Structure 1
Amino acid sequence: MAQINKQTGTYNPFLIADKLNIEVHWKNIYPRPFGETFYYGEQPIIMLSNSIKDSTERYFVLAHELGHVIEHQGLSAYYTSNSRFHNKTEDEANQFAIKLLTNLYVEENEKLPDSYLELHYMYGFPNWYE
């Protein structure tokens, strides 16, 4: 995580995507997924659903997709053909998003969040606590 910050100067997923030249496009994707990563040759392109454009959830979804791009480079074919690996990479992308956005919280507030709910409201963390 520190390497990303060193390279981009931020933990904000939108700024990270911009600084790493990762295209982010908003599309009508219904009902799910809220985000998807595609590759044009070697270049990743992240699609985000218009349904979350004005929601805090856009932070978590983009951070999750960045997790796939940064942590799982070159694994897209294997990812889609192996359900066990698919579940593992989804968990890893969620963990990446949690770490990235927790660091963003610290970057913006100069302190750790008081609770998971705070991260849920600020960055759209999933309702795993329910």
Structure 2
Amino acid sequence: MGKTSDLNKLVFTIGQRYGTFDPFTWADKLNLDIQWKELLPKPLAKTVYFFDVPVIMMSNNIKYSNQRYFVLAHEIGHVLEHNGLAAYYVSNKVHERKTEREADTFAMAVVTNLYIEENGHLPDTYSDLRRNYGLPNLEN
């Protein structure tokens, strides 16, 4: 992913195309396969590729939690911007941290826009987004 402005344009374009910022609708429209699995204790999700087709594995731990929104948006960020980089990840921790930050930034833009879609205004605090969409605790 590039600059934050480019990322925001991408998120907004996809949201406009699909008429929502709900990452589950996006996954459906993008024909992304979501599989709910036991992934304990972590990760909360992982994207794997079978014959160059992404499959998003989501932890059963968050299946009924609001956290599933942020986590899925994060994985969609990887699919759209980091397609096929899983093998490179293993050999390059600096690149892994960078792509994780980028996917988090993508997910933050998605859920912020989803909040606006559902509430008609920006969230007042980061805690509003944490409560509604399971964003990570910044203290950890």
> How many aligned positions are there?
130
Separation (CA, whole Å) in 2 of partners of 1:26 and 1:115: 30
Measure, in 1, the Cα distance between the counterparts of 2:23 and 2:58.
Answer: 13
Which stretches of structure 1, 4 residues or longer, exceed 3 Å deviation after superposition? Answer: none
Distance 2:54 2:17 in 1: 18
Q: Which runs of 5+ in 1 are unaligned?
A: none
**Structure 1 residue identity aligned to 2:115:** Y
Q: Deviations over 1:31-84 (max 9, x none)?
A: 000100011122110000001111111111111111101111232222222100
Structure 1 residue corresponding to 2:78, chosen from 61, 65, 68 = 68
Q: Distance in 1 between matches of 2:112 and 2:16?
A: 16
Gaps of 5+ in 2: 1-10
Superposition TM-score, scaled by structure 1 size: 0.94
1:81 and 2:91 correspond: yes
What residue identity is the alignment partner of 2:99?
A: T
- Find the aligned partners of 2:75 and 2:102 in 1 and give their Cα distance: 11
Q: Report the AA paired with residue 98 of structure 1.
A: M
Q: CA RMSD in A?
A: 1.2
Percent of aligned pairs with the same amino acid:
52
Distance (Å, rounded) in 2 between the aligned partners of 1:117 and 1:95? 16
Q: TM-score, normalised by structure 2?
A: 0.88
